[in-house]
Amino acid sequence: MVEAWYMDESSEDQRKPHRLQPNRPVSTAELQRLGVSSWKLDADNHETDPELERIRRERNYSWMDIITIRKDTLPNYEEKIKMFYEEHLHLDDEIRYVLDGSGYFDVRDKNEQWIRIAMEKGDLITLPAGIYHRFTLDEKNYVKAMRLFVGEPVWTPYNRPADHFEAREKYVLSLTQLG
Ligand code: KMT
Ligand code: NI
């Protein structure tokens, strides 16, 4: 299962783990209550994996591409790294599947605390529309990920504050129902 923990408040390098002392782990059940779903899949066989096929079919993840985030291969690397780490939301789910390398998705819990989700090879995650989040590489500085989408992708990030969007209002309401 995907590993997650509450972050410390330190402003040092975003690529470090930023665990509290002592560590405060966050279970997948707690993530689920924030609307965050995750699966562990066989990344080496992503081209033929029936489980990935099933998830894509059931959730209508019809569109996909593969992005490699590494200094020497991603155009406008520094700019994108900065953009990914600005706290933002989207009007659609953000769905990512790590095929190689690793990185962190940070999401806000119900009390506005940051939870850090360690994404490693084989981890597939969906962040619900309207959740405030951000992404960073870790100290290995490399991730290769499948980006999935329901229909034609719209990647627009809305940096916080973005509370007036219907997707945000719906998300906040869903929190009271997810428990
Ligand atoms: C995003 O939208 O934050 C990205 O695509 C980068 C992370 S992909 C693991
Ligand atoms: Ni995003």
The rounded Å distance from CA 24 to ligand 1 centre is 25
Distance of CA 38 to the CA centre of its chain: 10
The string of pLDDT tens digits covering residues 17-40 is 999 999 999 999 999 999 999 999
Q: How many Å lie between the centroid of ligand 2 and the Cα of residue 90? A: 6
Please give the number of the atom of ligand 1 that sits closest to the Cα of 145.
9
Cis upstream peptide for 22 (omega within 30°): yes
Question: What type of residue sits at position 155?
Answer: W
From 15, 69, 95, the mutation candidate for ligand 1 (largest count of ligand atoms within 8 A of CB) is 69
Residue 45 pLDDT greater than 90, yes or no: yes
Side-chain-side CA neighbours of residue 117 (13 Å): 29
Using 50, 70 and 90 to split pLDDT, how confident is the model at 178? confident
Q: How many CA atoms lie less than 13 Å away from 74 in the CB half-sphere?
A: 18
Res. 179: pLDDT tops 90? no
Domain boundaries, the chain: 3-171
In this prediction, residue 57 carries a pLDDT of 98
Summary mean pLDDT of the chain: 97
CA atoms in the 13 A half-sphere facing the CB of 158? 17
* H or E stretch at 123: strand 123-127
pLDDT tier at 177, thresholds 50, 70, 90: confident
Residues 106-158: tens digit of each pLDDT: 999 999 999 999 999 999 999 999 999 999 999 999 999 999 999 999 999 99
59-97: pLDDT as tens digits = 999 999 999 999 999 999 999 999 999 999 999 999 999
Tell me whether residue 19 is exposed, middle or buried, using C-beta atoms within 10 angstroms of its C-beta: 0 to 12, 13 to 18, 19 or more: middle
Which amino acid makes up residue 117?
A: I
Residues with CB under 6 A from ligand 1: 67, 84, 94, 96, 103, 135, 143, 145, 147
Residues 3-171, CATH architecture: Sandwich (2.60)
Confidence of residue 161 (pLDDT cuts 50, 70, 90): very high
Q: What is the pTM for the complete model shown?
A: 0.98
CA distances from 138 to 4, 7, 110, 134 (A): 14, 14, 25, 13
* Amino acid, single-letter form, for residue 102: S
**Phi/psi of residue 31, each to 5°?**
-60, -40
Distance CA 116, CA 15 (A): 11
